[in-house]
Structure 1
């Protein structure tokens, strides 16, 4: 089946007209004869939007029950069964009600597209996953509903619905977006001019990137290699020479002239693996500079530098190419035009800039290349030439008349090749010249003179000399390339080993220094940093106050560059110092690469530390924002209710009946109780995070804590079946904290369980722990989000945001772990969630010492507090302890409450004393 097309109307903020434009497009298609239906449209009561629905066919929504309330969602099955040509689906980022087929609406849209249906939808820029955190920082409002960028980028058409911030605020003020009571708050907060301007810029930039991707794809599909100057892209070519910094800065200034221009740096390396003229340290420093200026660094391979540069520039659709002026001297430029001239001639529509610098015409500054062969082999080559050729001449003179001049020349040429293989270029050239003289003197008529009478003999001797020189040069070049290749291979193996040690998880700076010390057998390798707070002295190289150790391996470390046997200055502030032996000149190149990478690793390490610090500060700020946004509501609501009730009680002109007065007093008590619980949770969470929570662990009965928790949450109005075996051992815990944990768990279970299926509480003992399970039959929580529910201020998209700040479960787990217990979620068979609290048994917690049996009186009090259905809840043995009907014991309930309150007061007083002692 053909995949359906996706059209997205993208807006910078609510109210810009996305839904209106979507309906407008739907009506246009319907007028052209397309079968269009409305799958789901949110008009938000806006008359103009409702009017645009017109006579469009609307597929009825699906109704879902969730936590006692009814919600409507897109009826995906009905739309698929209707199978229209196009469907309108509003709010792509919407989160579906639990119980829907898919968790997100964009997943519904994917199914519609897979069915071959054209989908027209809407989306605000703040709901894109990649910029969700940026929007939160700008507006201060976290966006919990997001769409993966890949879903939107795959859209066939994206149309920006744009309005200026001033126009959008006017629409808001006229009541065209929100209801009148929300307008002032919206204009003063989310819909500020600065917020709307930033969101608009984000939308424009994101859409520009999307258009860029489409353009690149079009050019690739149509094989268009010629650059299209739709956006400025400046490519700067780096040689690895000292002029790189000047060229990069010049290219950055060129890029800055156009807003949104890209800066790309490229270095071309040879594809034969041999060492080029680039300095690794300079290249590393130049790469860092490019990235600091907001550009990107690239490396390509090719022997023809001009061709490689232009291929790269055309591949990235570059508009300008920046190169440094040639460092070669004038004589070299006469022999070859150079990269700059060649690139300019072949650049076509790409503008080429040649930047002058201090190194122009100064030459490349290369040192003389090392000898391809050892001194011993070169000495043997000269001996072979000076001794072997006379002996060969003596032998050939004995055969004069039997061999022709051509044969003699071939034998001399063979000997020159042998000399070239043994001794290299100069000994071979010596053999070639000496051999030509001997051939001329002894074997070319007239003999024993240096004159030649026959032209063919002149040609033969000349060819012999030319061939001998050519062979000598070829053999020397081959030997030199072999040595360079061997050196490059050794360097590559060294760098590969270095990279492996870093990738295996070793700290980058220490791994680099350790590998350098091991490879070159240094006693100690130290990375030194120049201190900026110490002024330069007369001898900075030996001033220990002027340097600090950023990293060291081996002993004793070098505290200044002057104490080292070898040192490499990476830049003005960083130096690599080595102790043990001087550094060979041939090894300096690779060691410079080590030094540059070590400095770069140090810089990245510092940036990572700063990012970690910033991340922790951002997390603190996030928690603070979440706390303020949650607590501000949850403090205000009970306070408002209590104040209203108190005002009613204090009104002098109002006569209240006893029932009304009692109701108002109950309202005050309930509101103050909510405030008390909220403040307790906040204080205990802060104590937990600070490690200052005082506990009074003691042997206690889980049954009594359960009864107290049931009483606290008001379970009498909605009975909770409880099953606690008679032989349940006591646990070692803080009674007040256990009661609070169970109260939180029961409160959540009562809140989410259906009315006809109340939660249950059961207790069991296994492996030295007593497990208290609170079972509900609610919607449950996916296993992937089990850890999330224990984070502070998390409500997992709860639609009932009237109560609770999301601290209950976080605090409960913290309290459980503080008492050496655990709190874990489990799936309830048949649907729902089971929270299991495990606490250590007294005998195991105290090391197996004999303990007195559980206090039966506590069990009787617990059973008495629970009232009826004792047999089902405690078992027959515990029920027998009551000794009669609980209801027939007047004052028992109050006595139990007073007894429990007294014990709780003792524990709270002890905790207060502990807090005071800590303070």
Structure 2
């Protein structure tokens, strides 16, 4: 059975018309004769959306009871039994009621797809798991219902339902999205223009990435290697040379000049043998520059640089490649075209920009020729040649009648190879020359003369000399490559250990310097930063006032770059100074990698410090934003009610009887009382956060504190069931603050308890603490949302002061802790939520 296809209508925010567009598509399919049913569609009371259901067949929902409250969910079994061609299932990220067949609705949809049923569904961009934290940062609201990105990416079709922020806000103001009492709060909070613009951009970018994936998959499935310029991408090739920064900036300008801006990618091609080194400091600086310009850095391995570069460019569907003109001299370019010319010849449809720079024609510094073997082995080789050639000559002279000239040459060749294996190139060349002279003098007619009468003997000696030299060179090259491979392996292992220690350490910069000191056995390692106010000059390297110690490990830090044994530039204003010993040239390359990583680690440390500094400011800004959003709605309502009542009483156009006047006065009084409580909550919370809340702790019995609270709250509170032990110890608390806490807790409990099951208050004593439990029997609150319910200006589960600014539970916990107590939630047996207020028992009070 073929798997069904999933079509998703993706929106940036609630209200853009996803469900409406989905139902429109369902009607189009039905009009074409397709069997369509509605498995689940949520209209949210929007009349235009409800009208779109029209005559579509609706599968009855399944009713479930959870904690005494009835909920309806999609009946998966009923849809499967009906077996339509297409099922309409709204809100793909929805979390099903506990006890349902699956935890999430997208899992229900997977069952329908597995059964061969096509599905039309909807989802908002804020519900994607990968964007959850980004959306929270933008809007300040945590999305609890999410689904994996892969569910949406695997959909056969994703259609973006788009709307400008201004149009969406107009739709909101007209009452087409939320009820009238929620419009002001929504427009001032989640539906601000900036939020909607950012969410819209997120949706467009995410969908663009999915389209890119689909395009790459299509090109791969159809073996399309040519570049399709659907989206401009500029690749800049980096060699690690000093011209890299010029190339990056030129490539960034090329990318910026393309319509809507192009994507910038920097790539460095490493040789596949792993033995050709580059300057890691330059590459690290260039990587930082690329990322600061909004690009990305990549590294690939290839035997042929031009081929590897173009393979990478075609792999990312790049349209342009930027690389520098050759640094080699004219003579070198005669024998080889170079990477630039080869890339142009092989580029095909990709545009190649050859950028001039200051390093053109300067060539590359030839590598220093050093022996691959140790001095001891070279001396041993020379000794073997000096002893072995005469000894072999004597032996062969004694066996002159038994061996031919060819045998003599082969034996001398074996001696030369042995010398090459032991001492390398130069001892072997010396042995080859000495052996050729010995063969000519003692074994080639005419004997005892450096002349050769027969051409065959001359040819044999020439071949002998060439073979001996070639074998010596090969042996020396193999030894050199073996040493380089061992060095590269050791360097790679060292850098891998460094990376691991840096990643695992809480202090990456210090961990890196400690690893450097340990690796090379140094007495101290210091990272110095040049003071920006100091002038340049030859004395700056020796002036301690020109440098500042950023980080150091070891016994005695170096205060200037010239005060150490080795100094490596980590960045333009950073120097890594090593004390203890002078390093080999081969070790310096690894130290340069350490220096580059140290510069990056310092940059990350400073970014983390800036983020830590900005976090309280961002939190304060978030609090102010939440406060303004809450105050703009919650304070306006009681003010409007009080003003309307007072205006009506002052009006001369309408005559009110005594009962109407009493009702209006009661409305005004109730609204002003509510306003007073809101302002008092705000003031108390500000005092708590400022640490200036005044306390007067006195012994007070709960039997004296609870009844006045219930009386003050009026008729609804008289239904609360109170059960307090007769001999309960008094608590040490501030009477006024305790009353505020109890009012908030009882008000919350009344709001969420059903009419037939009023809240209850009970108390007990345990280990010097008196616990007061205020229990409701409503829908309860998931445990993962318990702590968020105590955050100021949050309305998790709509539990903390729905009629206030979201301060009820936050203020209650703060007041409880100020009095030396605690306030924690727990589940109510049988369903609901219980708030447990623990306060210390008053000293000297006994049962």
Q: TM-score, normalised by structure 2?
A: 0.89
Q: 2:346 matched to which residue of 1?
A: 346
- Alpha-carbon distance in 1 for matches of 2:175, 2:713: 43
Q: Is this contact kept in 2: 1:227–1:317, CA < 8 A?
A: yes
Q: Which moved more, 1:34-43 or 1:168-177?
A: 168-177
Tell me the distance in 2 between the aligned counterparts of 1:348 and 1:726: 93
1 CA distance for matches of 2:649 and 2:170?
45
Partner residue of 2:268?
267
1:282-339 residue CA offsets vs partner (Å, 9 max, x unmatched): 1111111111121111222333333333332332222333332333333433444433
Distance change >3 Å, CA 451–CA 202, structure 1 → 2: same
Aligned to 2:502: 502
State the SS of the aligned residue for 1:212.
helix
Does the CA-based 8 Å contact 2:67-2:830 persist in structure 1?
no
Who is 1:839 aligned against?
839
Aligned-partner Cα distance in 2 for 1:330–1:773: 90
Cα gap change, 1:772/1:671 in structure 2, threshold over 3 Å: closer, same or farther? same
SS at match of 1:640: helix
CA distance in 2, matches of 1:511, 1:135: 35
Cα–Cα, structure 1 residues 206 and 300, in superposed 2: closer, same or farther, change >3 Å?
A: same
Alignment check: 8 A CA contact 2:440 2:449 kept: yes
How far apart, in 2, do the equivalents of 1:620 and 1:832 lie?
Answer: 33
* Partners of 2:826 and 2:420 in 1: CA distance: 82
User: Are 1:320 and 2:320 counterparts?
Assistant: yes
Aligned residue pairs, count: 846
State whether residues 789 and 800 of structure 2, in contact with CA within 8 Å, keep that contact through their aligned partners in structure 1.
no
1 CA distance for matches of 2:528 and 2:146?
A: 47
Flag the 1:839–1:618 CA change in 2: closer, same or farther, 3 A.
Answer: same
User: SS at 1:600's partner residue?
Assistant: helix
Residue 734 of structure 1 pairs with residue 731 of structure 2:
no
Q: Within 2, Cα distance between the matches of 1:155 and 1:614? A: 40
> Judging changes above 3 Å, is the alpha-carbon distance between structure 1 residues 81 and 742 closer, same or farther for their aligned structure 2 residues?
farther
Change (3 A) 1:301 1:33: same
Q: Distance in 2 between matches of 1:175 and 1:751?
A: 26
Secondary structure of the structure 1 residue equivalent to 2:796:
coil
1:98 touches 1:779 (CA, 8 Å); kept in 2? Answer: no
Q: Is the 8 A contact 1:40 1:89 kept in 2?
A: yes
CA contact (8 A) 2:245 2:286 kept: yes
Aligned residue for 1:846? none
Tell me, what secondary structure is at the counterpart of 2:719? coil
Q: Is the 8 A contact 1:409 1:439 kept in 2?
A: yes
2:122 equivalent to 1:152: no
Distance in 2 separating the partners of 1:718 and 1:552: 70
Work out whether residues 416 and 431 of structure 1, in 8 Å CA contact, stay in contact via their aligned partners in 2.
yes
Number of the residue aligned with 2:566: 566
Q: Deviations over 1:403-440 (max 9, x none)?
A: 21122112211211222122211111111111111111
Which position in structure 2 is the counterpart of 1:677? 677
1:489 partnered with 2:486: no
SS at match of 1:349: coil
Per the alignment, residue 245 of structure 1 pairs with 245
Please show how residues 372-451 of structure 1 align to structure 2 within 5 Å: 372-451=372-451
Structure 1 unaligned spans of 5+: 844-850, 855-919
CA distance in 2, matches of 1:48, 1:749: 36
Q: How far did residue 199 of structure 1 move? A: 6.1
Residues 76, 740 of structure 1: CA spacing in aligned structure 2 closer, same or farther, 3 A cutoff? Answer: farther
Aligned in 2, Cα 1:416/1:715: closer, same or farther, shift over 3 Å? farther
Question: Which is further off, 276-285 or 360-369?
Answer: 360-369
Moved more, 419-428 or 357-366: 357-366
Go from structure 1 to structure 2 and tell me whether the alpha carbon gap of 1:475 and 1:181 turns closer, same or farther (over 3 Å shift): closer
Structure 2 equivalent of residue 864 of structure 1: none
Encode CA deviations 1:497-532: one digit per residue, 9 max, x unaligned: 322322332311111112222222333222122232
Would the alpha carbon gap of residues 76 and 743 (structure 1) be closer, same or farther in structure 2, given more than 3 Å must change? farther
Aligned residue number for residue 895 of structure 1: none
Deviates more, 1:276-285 or 1:537-546: 537-546
491 and 82 in structure 1: CA distance in 2 versus 1, 3 angstrom threshold: same
CA contact (8 A) 2:792 2:807 kept: yes
CA distance in 2, matches of 1:317, 1:194: 33
CA distance in 2, matches of 1:353, 1:176: 54
Aligned in 2, Cα 1:798/1:131: closer, same or farther, shift over 3 Å? same
Which residue number corresponds to residue 213 of structure 2? 213
Q: Secondary structure at the match of 1:739?
A: helix
Q: 2:452 maps to which residue? A: 452
Deviation at residue 593 of structure 1 after TM alignment: 0.9
State how 1:675-754 maps to structure 2 within 5 Å.
675-714=675-714, 718-754=718-754
Are the equivalent residues in 1 in contact too, given 2:794–2:800 (CA < 8 A)?
no
Residue 831 of structure 1 deviates from its aligned partner by: 1.4
Once the two structures are overlaid, the 10-residue window that deviates more, 403-412 or 645-654, is 645-654
- Larger deviation, residues 653-662 vs 435-444: 653-662
1:725 shift after superposition: 2.2
Note the 1:745-784 alignment, pairs <5 A: 745-784=745-784
1:835-871 Cα distance to aligned partner (Å, 9 max, x none): 212223345xxxxxxx2546xxxxxxxxxxxxxxxxx
Deviation at 1:198, TM superposition (A): 6.4
Give, in whole Å, the separation in 2 of the partners of 1:276 and 1:77: 65
CA distance in 2, matches of 1:155, 1:365: 55
Unaligned runs of 5+ in 2: none
Quickly say closer, same or farther: Cα 1:127–1:83, change in 2 above 3 A: same
Aligned partners of 1:598, 1:769: CA distance in 2, in Å?
Answer: 54
Q: What does 1:432-831 align with in structure 2 at a 5 Å threshold?
A: 432-536=432-536, 539-651=539-651, 657-714=657-714, 718-798=718-798, 803-831=803-831
Q: 1:96 to 1:737 in 2, by over 3 A?
A: farther
Residues 635-657 of structure 1: per-residue CA shift (max 9 Å, x gap): 12222222333344445676655
Matched residue, 2:289: 289
CA contact under 8 A between 1:536 and 1:546: conserved in structure 2? no
Shift of 1:264: 1.8
Q: Describe the SS at the equivalent of 2:522.
A: coil
Quick one: structure 1 residues 269 and 557, their matched pair in 2 at CA, closer, same or farther if it must change by over 3 Å?
same
Structure 1 residues 654 and 812, CA, compared in 2 at 3 Å: closer, same or farther? same
Q: Relative to structure 1, is the Cα distance of residues 159 and 402 closer, same or farther in structure 2, using a 3 angstrom cutoff? A: same
Cα distance in 1, alignment partners of residues 805 and 209 from structure 2: 39
Kindly report which structure 2 residues correspond to 1:76-155, keeping only aligned pairs within 5 A, or say none: 79-90=79-90, 92=92, 109-110=109-110, 112-123=112-123, 149-155=149-155
CA gap 1:664/1:27 in 2 versus in 1, 3 angstroms? closer
SS of 1:570's equivalent in the other structure is strand
Indicate if the aligned counterparts of 2:729 and 2:845 stay in contact, CA closer than 8 A. Answer: no
**1:195 deviation in Å?**
7.8
The answer to whether the 8 Å contact 2:185/2:633 transfers is: no
Give the match for residue 276 of structure 2: 276
Q: Kindly indicate whether the alpha-carbon contact (under 8 Å) linking 1:537 and 1:543 is maintained by their aligned counterparts in 2.
A: no
Cα offset for 1:94? Answer: 6.6
Shift of 1:681: 1.8
Cα separation, 1, equivalents of 2:577 and 2:223: 53
**Preserved contact between residue 64 and residue 73 of structure 1 (Cα < 8 Å):** yes
Contact 1:129 1:146 in 2 (8 A): yes
The one of the two structures with greater contact order (alpha-carbon pairs below 8 A, sep at least 6) is 2
- Report if aligned partners of 2:801, 2:807 keep a CA contact under 8 Å in 1: no
**Paired residues for 1:221-260 under 5 Å:** 221-258=221-258, 259-260=260-261
Q: What CA distance in whole angstroms lies between the structure 2 residues aligned with 1:762 and 1:673? A: 28
Deviation for aligned residue 1:588: 1.3
- The Cα offsets for residues 799-825 of structure 1, whole Å up to 9 and x where unpaired, read as 999612221111222222333322222
Q: How far off is 1:226 after superposition? A: 3.6
- Give the Å deviation of 1:2: 5.0
Question: 2-side partners of 1:488 and 1:442: how far apart?
Answer: 47
Shift of 1:92: 4.9
Where does residue 905 of structure 1 map in the other structure?
A: none
Residue 364, structure 1, aligned to residue 364, structure 2: yes
In the aligned structure 1, how far is the partner of 2:676 from the partner of 2:171? 43
